[in-house]
Structure 1
């Protein structure tokens, strides 16, 4: 028998990634295409320009398919994963009636107001891409959270008329919902021409991007947390029920039908801040790194390995993009003296991610009432041994990373593999397709330093908020 292949689509905040896997979860080939910079028409409004979601997927798909050396007839399914909390307004032909909204746009958390007469449908990002790929008005229920009239217990649209009034969305403006692992439709001739995907291949529903990523890391059971190092950095764990009235735990739909996922609070510009600092150093630094056969991040990491634990007292607060109810907050770096270099700043940012997420993770696990024995780290930052060790030391918990760094793409492929009958269950698919590569154990002397820093770190904003509230009135 010939090998079978599965496509995973992973469209995030910064790029679209298309990966083709074999049935054991090995990457066969991949393609990536960047998204364009956001349009910022006014404060709080963050829009995707033109038809950027679809254009990026087409660009990434063509690159991926151009490098595929197998038989396209052996591709058995496509798992579709797109960024969560986004919103698209479609016309009667299901094309964009106005710019799509990023998850950072304040309007996605507010009730819909029907001001544009061209708008006939309101969908998540995955609903729009589903239509472009298949021509079907369907979407995964597991990508609808926050501001949508969904019944979280039945995994369907709500039957309560008040739910539609509260969000401003009539039922007739919404697509049909299916569960993760269900077939949304098949690739149309038009979509095949635009992407290079084989016509007729089934497109399979997944979930919100974090849940798909969690599935792709193998995050299952109640003693494991997955820390996702992305533009939005957060952690998650598998849950048994949809919790209510929680303060530090955000229940979501899982990527496994009829299961749930518990989310922590997150850092709205987590790994973005790492990229920001890299870019601040300029082209000269990038060229210097390239001359040594490294990326700028790799050279920064190498330099930061020589910095003492705790960055000689330099601490960073990651409020580069604050929550909407505290817009006065700003990013902070405090504790500079003559010892500090760019390597100290870089390490301080990494330590800030770990120190922030420690509180968010432990707040969640304490509220749920579980003890964590393992942390799976995913996302681009997981490729750094330095960062992985910092996380293990700060958390004082063994930390592992996956063999495949594109966890969302793999999670999408797992959904497609189950839908195609390659594996009989999600559990079997994870067991066969997910592998861990490296394990990092806490170093006691490092953990001791971070334990002393931790309460000081979380006291910083108690002293700086008053100042930032005053400067906000000047420098909004």
Structure 2
């Protein structure tokens, strides 16, 4: 590799898309660009109280073009563009959309432009809670356990629950929807100029972890599984896919249209897409049996192990185990927490409410000063809370919390569950409550490690990735103390985008396998947090309280209507379709906790 060769990694997060131009010879980040979704930023198409979070495909398309062109311009324009050999994309997930036969999202077609049900259903959209419960109850009626490779529990955050909910909810979308496509599969299809959804190369990452695809089933579960759940799904599998591909393979080459739009060659290879945490784990140089924690608005915890060592071991209650979903040739296992940075952002919004809602009408300061004050305080809240919380002596009787503010992803998915704060008294101030929230997210992370260990897949080390890992020593030190294990922090803040670039280099043939790309392009680790031996026994006692309170909430939180789904007749339910008007809702901001991974 005498001359520099460049690849581009594109990372779609919850709030923005980031592209990086990387030197494939050594992993040097040559240029980077971020585009914040304008429609999402205005809170369009979302209804937070109803757990509805939708994103318009135009936000994705505009961001794709803007960030890649920015990177090329920063790096030197045409001379660099001629040396770009590959592009790979990661996205949040499961974030699917209804498309027509050409693979075009319905929101890009006349009559659907403002319809949230025609848009991408973001990973954290939980409008399909009832549908997920029905899938879980329905699966028990079959001799084959079709949920065995997704931890035994299907989540409302995933592909089929979202499809069923949208088809039931909206007759117009139901009539126009030909197929259902993950965001990570659609962007490569877009870049390669695809116009027939049946020819779309679906990634094994999304297919195996969210769509119930498994070689043992011959692909997707049979049509009867879905048709007997609800006739609205009858025949749908025939319009999906029967083959799935690892992310080290090519989806095609850049189309003429997109080559002209971006200023690149039509010889640029486009890799098969995958989820952000899976590519992020590669960008963070994942090692066998080391849990790679990609920490953003939520967490995604990735673990890889040799296939011949895992054999028939199945870990219950996780988000799936899929051969080749992280590193081709190895078993990829996924777990995670539905709210991590989102928990801190929620508490920040609580504290900011008086400033954001009362200063505007103040007779003491002018509007410009009020706006500047809100911005200043907003930027300082999390760092200052962290300092104050870190100074609080650790006690067995401090306030404590449950971290299910966006439901529970793993272990044992249940998006109906809610968070809680306990042990409050008149001395419970903001730093003490914040400390309890941070501790709860660390305890939630420990539950995941415990589940792997208990079920025969040992966790031998921890790797921290993403914005929280890089920017919050307080949270990372508490994580090490609670886990009673060291946690190494990867040097790169953009491991997802860098991981996508590594896959681009592999798909383009620059490296024969992704492990070679990791070795050549990886940036290494520059921090390590070691547990404080004096704190471990206190956290162990507090962890018991966390487990006891969580067990109580778990046993008392399921609404009766969801419990009743277990008694549904074998033909399933057939909800009456209808279109619910959507209200615009201001979407949360995560200024202090960048969202690099959210599946």
Q: TM-score, normalised by structure 1?
A: 0.86
The total of aligned residue pairs comes to: 469
1:128 and 2:186 equivalent? yes
1:240-251 to 2 correspondences below 5 Å: 240-241=306-307, 246-249=315-318, 250-251=320-321
Q: Distance in 1 between matches of 2:50 and 2:60?
A: 22
**2:302 aligned partner:** 236
The structural deviation recorded for 1:403 is: 0.7
Tell me if the contact between 2:204 and 2:325 (Cα under 8 Å) persists in the aligned partners.
no
1:82-161 to 2 correspondences below 5 Å: 82-97=91-106, 98-103=118-123, 104-105=125-126, 106=128, 108-110=159-161, 112=164, 113=167, 116-136=174-194, 137-145=200-208, 148=211, 150-152=213-215, 157-158=219-220
1:26 counterpart (8, 24, 28): 28
**2:581 aligned partner:** none
Tell me if the contact between 1:85 and 1:124 (Cα under 8 Å) persists in the aligned partners.
yes
Q: CA distance change for structure 1 residues 14 and 308 in 2, over 3 Å: closer, same or farther? A: farther
Question: Could you give the per-residue CA deviations for residues 398-449 of structure 1, whole angstroms, max 9, x where no partner exists?
Answer: 1111111211111111111122333332222212222111111111112222
Tell me if the contact between 1:85 and 1:145 (Cα under 8 Å) persists in the aligned partners.
no
Note the aligned Cα RMSD (angstroms).
3.5
2:325 counterpart (251, 254, 264): 254
1:290-329 to 2 correspondences below 5 Å: 296-309=381-394, 313-322=398-407, 329=417
Deviates more, 1:391-400 or 1:5-14: 5-14
**2:86 aligned partner:** 77
The structural deviation recorded for 1:385 is: 1.3
Deviates more, 1:211-220 or 1:65-74: 65-74
Tell me if the contact between 1:311 and 1:348 (Cα under 8 Å) persists in the aligned partners.
no
Question: Could you give the per-residue CA deviations for residues 182-231 of structure 1, whole angstroms, max 9, x where no partner exists?
Answer: 11122223324555655542111243322212111111212x11122132
Deviates more, 1:452-461 or 1:241-250: 241-250
1:39 and 2:45 equivalent? yes
Tell me if the contact between 1:373 and 1:398 (Cα under 8 Å) persists in the aligned partners.
no
Q: Distance in 2 between matches of 1:218 and 1:19?
A: 17
Tell me if the contact between 1:181 and 1:206 (Cα under 8 Å) persists in the aligned partners.
no
1:279 and 2:280 equivalent? no
SS of alignment partner, residue 309 of structure 1: coil
Question: Could you give the per-residue CA deviations for residues 237-286 of structure 1, whole angstroms, max 9, x where no partner exists?
Answer: 1133475654244313422223221223x321221111222233329699
Point out where structure 2 has 5 or more consecutive residues left out of the alignment.
107-117, 132-158, 195-199, 357-370, 563-599
**1:337 aligned partner:** 425
Q: TM-score, normalised by structure 2?
A: 0.70
Q: Distance in 1 between matches of 2:72 and 2:347?
A: 34
Q: CA distance change for structure 1 residues 323 and 376 in 2, over 3 Å: closer, same or farther? A: closer
Q: Distance in 1 between matches of 2:246 and 2:257?
A: 25
Q: Distance in 1 between matches of 2:350 and 2:70?
A: 30
SS of alignment partner, residue 145 of structure 1: helix
Q: Distance in 1 between matches of 2:175 and 2:287?
A: 45
Rg larger in 1 or in 2? 2
The structural deviation recorded for 1:311 is: 9.6
Q: CA distance change for structure 1 residues 301 and 125 in 2, over 3 Å: closer, same or farther? A: same
Tell me if the contact between 1:329 and 1:468 (Cα under 8 Å) persists in the aligned partners.
yes
**2:493 aligned partner:** 405
Q: CA distance change for structure 1 residues 457 and 160 in 2, over 3 Å: closer, same or farther? A: closer
Q: CA distance change for structure 1 residues 429 and 48 in 2, over 3 Å: closer, same or farther? A: same
State the structure with bigger RCO (CA 8 A, min sep 6), 1 or 2.
2
Q: Distance in 2 between matches of 1:335 and 1:159?
A: 47
Tell me if the contact between 1:248 and 1:360 (Cα under 8 Å) persists in the aligned partners.
no
Q: Distance in 2 between matches of 1:322 and 1:160?
A: 30
Q: Distance in 2 between matches of 1:138 and 1:382?
A: 33
Q: Distance in 2 between matches of 1:317 and 1:433?
A: 39
Deviates more, 1:109-118 or 1:437-446: 109-118
1:433 counterpart (521, 525, 529): 521
Higher strand fraction: Structure 1 or Structure 2?
1
Point out where structure 1 has 5 or more consecutive residues left out of the alignment.
none
**1:380 aligned partner:** 467
Tell me if the contact between 1:123 and 1:174 (Cα under 8 Å) persists in the aligned partners.
no
SS of alignment partner, residue 534 of structure 2: helix
SS of alignment partner, residue 368 of structure 1: coil
**2:7 aligned partner:** 6
Tell me if the contact between 1:65 and 1:197 (Cα under 8 Å) persists in the aligned partners.
no
Q: Distance in 2 between matches of 1:345 and 1:84?
A: 31
The structural deviation recorded for 1:302 is: 3.1
SS of alignment partner, residue 444 of structure 1: coil
SS of alignment partner, residue 87 of structure 2: strand
Question: Could you give the per-residue CA deviations for residues 114-141 of structure 1, whole angstroms, max 9, x where no partner exists?
Answer: 9533223322112221222111332322
Q: Distance in 2 between matches of 1:289 and 1:202?
A: 46
**2:293 aligned partner:** 227
